[in-house]
A and B are shown apart, each in its own frame.
Chain A
Amino acid sequence: MNNTLEAKGVTIWRGETLLLDAVDLTVGPGEVLQLAGANGSGKTTLLGALCGLAELDEGEVHWNGKLLHKDRAAFADALLYLGHRPGISGGLTPVENLELFCALNGGDAANIESVLDELSLGLQSMLPCRVLSAGQQRRVALARLRLQQRKLWILDEPLTSLDTAGLDWVRTRIAEQAAANGSVIFTTHQVLNLDSVPIQTLHLEASA
């Protein structure tokens, strides 16, 4: 049960629509899972359920054998979640945003400058994030992948607005995470090929 995320029978209704119907999945150390499906098939909702953000109508999600809400602190220690929106404050600079994450969630703040340089954000590190482009904001959020050591990554469309260099960077990070026995669950509309690591795929179909 070490560092394994397990979902059993996850069922979520959105009003009259059955969005997720008894979904089961297991992601263990070193595994990379891609959720695939058309728009509206429930990918983001499923990711939300796996993080403990969304309420399940039926089913359970376990981390290390325990229900998510039973030990929120332990799960929070293990989880790094990047959502649809970058999750950074527009009024703060990239450095301030990342320092905040490190202060709240743990992470090595000393490396912030070097990681921003890696992501070609060195010049922008002192500008408020709201003047950055969508791709740049996404990269600020992605910097957490480097700064915070987490066992489980749940990434919702992490490749949005990224250029080729950004895609490569994310690809490398995911491969490193898998090699270090961490897990990754992500969704994307783009094609992501990892050389060394097999990607499992779970297809979600929108119900009629």
Chain B
Amino acid sequence: MQRKRVNPAKLSTLSASFSGQEISVFKWIHRFASPPFVYRLAGKLTPWIGWLCLASLLVGLYLGLVVAPADYEQGDSYRIIYIHVPAAWMSMFIYVVMAVSSAVFLIWRMKLADVVAMASAPIGASFTFVALFTGSFWGKPMWGTWWIWDARLTSELLLLFLYLGYMALRGALEQPQSAARAAAILAIVGVVNIPIIHFSVEWWNTLHQPATITRMDKPAMHISMLRPLLVMMLAFQLLYFHNLLVRLRTGILQREARAGWVAKLAAGEVNG
């Protein structure tokens, strides 16, 4: 039997499985469902985003480490928030991206959405780890211990478990199609749970440590301290996008390895 390659045009019919009709207003989106299109687009965007990211990182670090004044209470050790807070924010943001793309994958069968989810998971887990690591570093000068069970760190720890569970489930199921769908369900279940976990941990924390005043997220800050934080937030967003685009391209190549356009690409790159 002749092997058919996946025809990008076939992916253009995005019919929601529950409505059963083509949603014509979304037809323009089907360009984004086409792997070769996204592959090329990602390739063009990556260097721009990379340089922008580097620039904002340097600016942010300079502003944060050099320009911003020392804190009244904590001296210079507070500066870790310029890494910790953006990392924590990204860890949450990426999980939401994962969950949304998982939902898109399940409902509209858009394979690229699954590639986005799969590519984002390790990045999100890394940001979570960075948040935990920097949070622990912050804790040492403040409380004298390497770990403290405050609400933020505990939530981040549970979030890390959610990420690891997602990646473990993906890895454990042998067939990629089932692994993708099962992981997508898990991501959606996780995102529903995250607010509940947050709320429970906050409550648990205030109950058991009533004396803890110092919180690790953004205190009311002077603009000179806030500005570097915003720049670092932007920098981390760009870092995520850069990583995502690179992983997305690799993921697309892996999935579409048998497709004609990939063979042409490989031949072209070998020759050119």
Please give the residue numbers on chain A whose beta carbons come within 8 Å of chain B beta carbons, in ascending order.
11, 13-16, 18, 21-22, 55, 57-58, 69-70, 205, 207
Contacts and interface: CB of A to CB of B under 8 A. Distances in A.
A16 B258 contact: yes
Given A16-B257, A58-B10, A21 B176 contact: no
Given A21-B4, A55-B177, A58-B10, 5 more contacts: A15-B175, A18-B3, A21-B1, A21-B2, A69-B17
Contacts of B20: 70
B181 interface: yes
A21 B3 contact: yes
A57 B177 contact: yes
Contacts of B177: 13-14, 55, 57
A15 B258 CA distance: 11
Interface in B170-195: 174-177, 181
Contacts of B176: 15
A21 B257 CA distance: 17
A205 B175 contact: no
Contacts of A11: 4
Interface in B236-272: 257-258
A111 to B, nearest CB: 39
Per CB-CB distance, the 3 closest pairs between chain A and chain B, nearest first, are A21-B1, A15-B176, A18-B3
A69 B17 CA distance: 9
13 contacts: A13-B177, A14-B175, A14-B177, A15-B174, A15-B175, A16-B257, A18-B4, A21-B2, A21-B4, A55-B181, A69-B17, A205-B1, A207-B3
A207 B258 contact: no
B126 to A, nearest CB: 27
Interface in B1-60: 1-4, 10, 17, 20
Contacts of A14: 175, 177
Contacts of B17: 69
Contacts of B174: 15
B22 to A, nearest CB: 15
A17 B11 CA distance: 20
Nearest to B3: A18
A52 to B, nearest CB: 13
Contacts of A207: 1, 3
Nearest to A57: B177
Contacts of A18: 3-4, 258
B182 to A, nearest CB: 12
B185 to A, nearest CB: 13
A22 B10 CA distance: 13
A13 B181 CA distance: 14
Nearest to A21: B1
A183 to B, nearest CB: 25
Contacts of B3: 18, 21, 207
A41 to B, nearest CB: 11
Of the candidates B174, B176, B177, the one having the most CB atoms from chain A within 10 angstroms of its own CB is B177
Nearest to A12: B177
A205 B2 CA distance: 11
A13 B258 CA distance: 11
Contacts of B2: 21
B236 to A, nearest CB: 34
A14 B179 CA distance: 11
